[in-house]
Copies of this chain bind each other. A is one copy, B any other.
């Protein structure tokens, strides 16, 4: 399968340099790597090797370098996002921007493992995941991460960092503090006079969803709100009738999580439109965790969503820094970090309409 080079001249390797400089390949390697052993060589030898390398335009082959078990200054980024790569612009790119910025700043190239995932048919195919070994280390991102293949990587000592909090003990991650941020949003709604809320989350069990739910519940309890029917699971397609019931029950605000599919949010928007409700006059809407810069607008109007914003870019940057620490063998704590989310004012948050105000029970 070794294709012949059409135009003859093969790219130079260390043995070419060795021949030109009259030394051995091993010497070339020592000199070029600049190791202590290499520096100990005679000045003349060093120089002639460097000259020869320069003359031939030598550049080390990263693949061979990597095979010989050094590092190759490449970081991987593997995404498990459900909708990826179709809805590629959403939720993935803010992360990518941060990752890329920091990687570039640190002199690391970036491998996007999007093709492997596709080839295997499923992104969680163990074989596909194993492919990340080309890189020195890898970032994982996505709500649903297959544990088995990643666990095997961990067993082999392969460095990786999750972007997003993980429940598995010991795995390094850089996440966002959804709990605090979600609680804060509910507190804000309560301060605006909302006493009866609903929180919409999707069906899956991703930590990002659980954390938001936890935060919403905590915020509700701390504000003395009723938490009985607070949490609602939805796939986004069943909201029309529900929304009507909620209104009848005195609900004045709905909190919804932002996911990679956006199912809950889209469904809610459609339901609000269908019901002919205006936001925020009839109903306040809060969005938990839009990616920075993509806040989106509320149904039926140009109002920006209030809620909080996930510091995707910062997470990307931090994750790269942590990964490089791990690659460098630095196992000192902490290897887990939660970044604060930024609260966002928005036109979708307004004081609760007084007519439907329900007095607190306790």
What is the interface of chain A, defined by CB distance below 8 A to chain B?
Answer: 1-3, 5-7, 9-11, 57, 59, 61-64, 66-74, 85, 88-89, 93, 97, 100-101, 103-119, 126-127, 130-131, 133-134, 152, 154-157, 329
Contacts and interface: CB of A to CB of B under 8 A. Distances in A.
B85 A104 contact: yes
Contacts of A74: 111, 115, 134
A70 B1 contact: yes
Contacts of A72: 63, 134
Q: Which of A62, A70, A105 has the most CB of B within 10 A?
A: A62
Contacts of A2: 69-70
A7 B156 contact: yes
A50 to B, nearest CB: 13
Contacts of A9: 155-156
Contacts of A11: 130, 133, 152, 156
25 contacts: A1-B71, A2-B69, A3-B70, A6-B157, A9-B156, A10-B156, A11-B156, A59-B131, A59-B133, A61-B67, A61-B133, A61-B134, A63-B66, A63-B72, A85-B105, A89-B97, A93-B93, A100-B114, A107-B116, A108-B115, A109-B111, A109-B116, A109-B131, A110-B115, A111-B112
